Amino acid sequence: MLSETFIIHQLLLGASLIVSVYLFFALRRSNKALQNETDQGKSLAMQLEDLAQTATEIEHAKEREILLRAETQRVLVRYQSEIGERVRIEQELRLAKKAADAASRAKTAFLANMSHEIRTPLGAILGFSELLSADDQTQFDRQESLEVIQRNGQLLTSIISDILDLTKVESGHLEVEKSRIHLRSLFEETRCSLSLLANEKGLALQVNFQEGLPLYIETDPLRLKQILINIIGNAIKFTVRGNVSVDVERGARDGETDLIRINVRDTGRGLTHAEAEQLFGAFVQADVSTTRNFGGTGLGLKLSRELARALGGDVSLVETRHKFGSTFEVTLDSGVTCQALLEPLESVPATDTPLLAPRDSGKILEGLSILVVEDAPDNQLLLSRILRLEGALFDVADNGRIGVEKARKKDFDIILMDVQMPVMDGFEAMHELRESGYTKPIIALTAHAMREERERCLVHGFNDYMSKPIDRVKLRDTLLRFWLSRSCQRPEASSSFKQASPIH
């Protein structure tokens, strides 16, 4: 009984031991599995974390790629814009260079032509001046030489005036001085001055006026005459046979001032299309070949257009047929309203108001005492001879200082004062005289023909201004005007001042 219990007890202990061992090993396996699973979980968590970080990096990389693409696009657009701008600038530079080269060639051609145009009359002046000194010259030859010298001198003056006027236009300093003038008289003066040229070529020059034109207009007579001489003169110059007609008409502008239209038609050489395209450019002539048949500086039409625009109008080529002639139209603002001051056709005077005295009216300045302050010997001689021919008494001073001393010693009626002189110039001399109480007229003489110089002279106290070269008739009329304005009485023939000789 006891042995069975013992055996059972031993069996239970063995079974318990076996169960314990089994449980031990089972628990151990379970711990290992748990550890493995924990490790696997940690590994999986790390992998998931790595995946999340990788995904974030991928997202950041995508964002950077988008930003990079956008920046690349902006750079490309900027580069394309810069390339386009550079191409545009290069094209503009090429065009500018082409235009500059063309302008340079035109100015080079102009200077060559200008040299020819200046040297031609200059050569004539020098040549005929030399002939005048020859002993074998007849009186007719001498008179002819003098006429050639005078004609070429006037031509040189005209060329220089055109250059100065174009300079004023291009610098924006062109000014006009409008006054009330008789319309038909101005055209009559222009026709008379150009009729000799037309007659020499056997051309008929006709001026036709529409009825109802204004009797007077408000414009700059000097500039208008300059335009007419350029346009009509060109028509005569380029016409070999036939006629030149000038039609003057009135064109109203809806209640504004009248517009004067002047159509100049010729039967000359006409123009090709290419010539017409560049006609109004500076330094341009229709015929630019070296063996051209026509002279001129190439400034006339350009200058005339600018002058006409300054007068409220324009100059345009209306019609041209090569070898058959051309028609130019000049317009200008008349300065008067429509229907104002209309003139019947039959009531037009033939000429304008005459000068104060005709050229050959005798010693019109006899008794007038004049002080000539001039440093150039040739100009002294010229003025002396003019004044002697006009009957004036005169004395000469070589500079401003001597002029002031002589003016204080003798009561001259008028002083002719050169502006640029050594020792003391004209401005200093004039100021010194005015400060000492001198009230007689002092007229400035200068080679500067610009308007600014005239205004400068008048502002500084000169009574008037005359530009060189001195014109005899203009000088005489200016002196006479000042003499009469001061109520100077001409002495009788028995006067002690009747001798036309210098005062010593």
Kindly state whether residues 332 and 433 are assigned to the same domain: no
Q: Which domain holds residue 198?
A: 179-288+295-347
Residue for token digits 């610098």?
171
Count of alpha carbons within 13 angstroms of residue 456, beta-carbon side? 11
Q: What is the pLDDT of residues 267-317, one digit of tens each?
A: 988 888 888 777 776 555 555 443 345 555 667 788 888 889 988 899 999
pTM over 0.85: no
Range of lowest pLDDT (11-15, 243-247, 431-435): 11-15
Kindly state whether residues 304 and 384 are assigned to the same domain: no
Of the chain, the percentage scoring pLDDT greater than 70 comes to: 83
Element (H, E) at 204: strand 204-209
Long-range interactions of 168-175: CB distance < 8 A, separation 24+: 168/450, 168/451, 169/303, 169/306, 169/307, 170/282, 173/451, 173/452, 174/306, 174/307, 174/310, 175/451
Residue for token digits 């063309």?
102
Kindly state whether residues 481 and 426 are assigned to the same domain: yes
Kindly state whether residues 450 and 301 are assigned to the same domain: no
Confidence (pLDDT) at 418: 92
pLDDT-based confidence at 132, cuts 50/70/90?
confident
Does 63 map to a domain? no
Inter-CA distances, 198 with 160, 215, 351, Å = 24, 27, 20
Does 163 map to a domain? no
The pLDDT of 188-207, averaged and rounded, is 87
Mark 140-160 as b/e (b = at least 16 C-beta within 10 Å): eeeeebeebbeebeebbbbbe
Inter-CA distances, 439 with 43, 379, 444, 451, Å = 121, 25, 15, 25
Confidence (pLDDT) at 376: 86
pLDDT-based confidence at 486, cuts 50/70/90?
low
Kindly state whether residues 280 and 375 are assigned to the same domain: no
The CATH number for 205's domain is 3.30.565.10
The pLDDT of 175-193, averaged and rounded, is 86
What are residue 259's DSSP bridge partners?
A: 251, 333
pLDDT of residue 496 exceeding 50? no
Does 50 map to a domain? no
Kindly state whether residues 434 and 299 are assigned to the same domain: no
Residue for token digits 């950077």?
64
Kindly state whether residues 337 and 452 are assigned to the same domain: no
Does 454 map to a domain? yes
Kindly state whether residues 207 and 327 are assigned to the same domain: yes
Kindly state whether residues 250 and 376 are assigned to the same domain: no
Residue at 51: amino acid letter: L
pLDDT of residue 221 exceeding 70? yes
Range of lowest pLDDT (75-79, 428-432, 498-502): 498-502
Inter-CA distances, 313 with 64, 262, 493, Å = 68, 11, 53
pLDDT-based confidence at 487, cuts 50/70/90?
very low
Kindly state whether residues 210 and 333 are assigned to the same domain: yes
Confidence (pLDDT) at 7: 77
Tokens of 281: 């450019």
| Chain mean position to CA 285 | 18
Q: How many domains does the chain have?
A: 2
Q: What is the pLDDT of residues 8-27, one digit of tens each?
A: 777 777 777 777 777 777 77
pLDDT-based confidence at 430, cuts 50/70/90?
very high
pLDDT of residue 499 exceeding 50? no
Does 327 map to a domain? yes
Confidence (pLDDT) at 178: 87
Kindly state whether residues 330 and 226 are assigned to the same domain: yes
Residues shown for the chain: 504
Whole-angstrom distance, CA of residue 376 vs CA of residue 128: 23
Q: What is the pLDDT of residues 78-101, one digit of tens each?
A: 888 888 888 889 888 888 888 888
Kindly state whether residues 332 and 199 are assigned to the same domain: yes
Does 143 map to a domain? no
Residue for token digits 């009248």?
258
Does 239 map to a domain? yes
The CATH number for 430's domain is 3.40.50.2300
Confidence (pLDDT) at 112: 66
